[in-house]
Structure 1
């Protein structure tokens, strides 16, 4: 049953912990635009990685795992898709109702959750179509 838990809840929880100030930031400073490090490239350009970028990369990594999980054909996959839909709805409601969630980082995470829902159902329907025999 633990494998049915949608992993996109992790970036959702991390973002909300940041909104609540669990990482020691004040409400006046945008936590997700905090620069973690920067590297000067050979071209002279500067690459910088922010905490928001790291959270989005975490969401993309989790999306990959979720899509791999969606290739399973079992009764648990239905529960997994249902829970993933609930996570997307939670993202959407928070985006619309919480002012601290009106950022591009949160919007990108919400779109990742939407892609998870759509891809999960699409992969499951495609896999289920292969399992049906008309003979």
Structure 2
């Protein structure tokens, strides 16, 4: 079940919930003290960090070549199409933070297919040499 579930839905859904609740994505959540001042992280920044973590998990999962992996890639493409439609059609999703999350869903889709194809080709090449 874990391999089928596309993790990129988590930052997209979190952003959607926050956007429909009227949360200001540029509002600062907390500041990290640094030597040269402080680094203030906003809601959008935290959602981008969450998206990068989920993208990392998705890239690790994409190394498989089973049926669950193929279903995961199809669902990832569906999430990208939904995120792109939200970005283009809904006003509260037209921010830089959601644009970056949408790009992450695109990278998840493309990288997943590419990694799976390369892994399958390598499996065929190894099997064909025998």
TM-score (norm 1): 0.88
Q: Which residue of 2 aligns with 1:33?
A: 26
Unaligned runs of 5+ in 1: none
Unaligned runs of 5+ in 2: none
Residues 36-68 of structure 1 deviation map (CA, whole Å, 9 limit, x = unaligned): 11234223x331111111100000000000001
**How well do the aligned residues superpose, as a CA RMSD in angstroms?**
1.4
In 1, Cα distance between equivalents of 2:104 and 2:116: 18
In 2, Cα distance between equivalents of 1:39 and 1:60: 19
| Change beyond 3 A, Cα 1:41–1:83 | same
Q: Which residue of 2 aligns with 1:97?
A: 89
- 1:130 aligned to which of 98, 103, 122: 122
Alpha carbons 2:63, 2:116 under 8 Å: kept: yes
Say yes or no: does 1:13 pair with 2:5: no
In 2, Cα distance between equivalents of 1:102 and 1:88: 15
* Runs of 4+ with >3 A deviation: none
Q: Which residue of 2 aligns with 1:118?
A: 110
Q: Which residue of 1 aligns with 2:99?
A: 107
Aligned residues: 127
TM-score (norm 2): 0.91
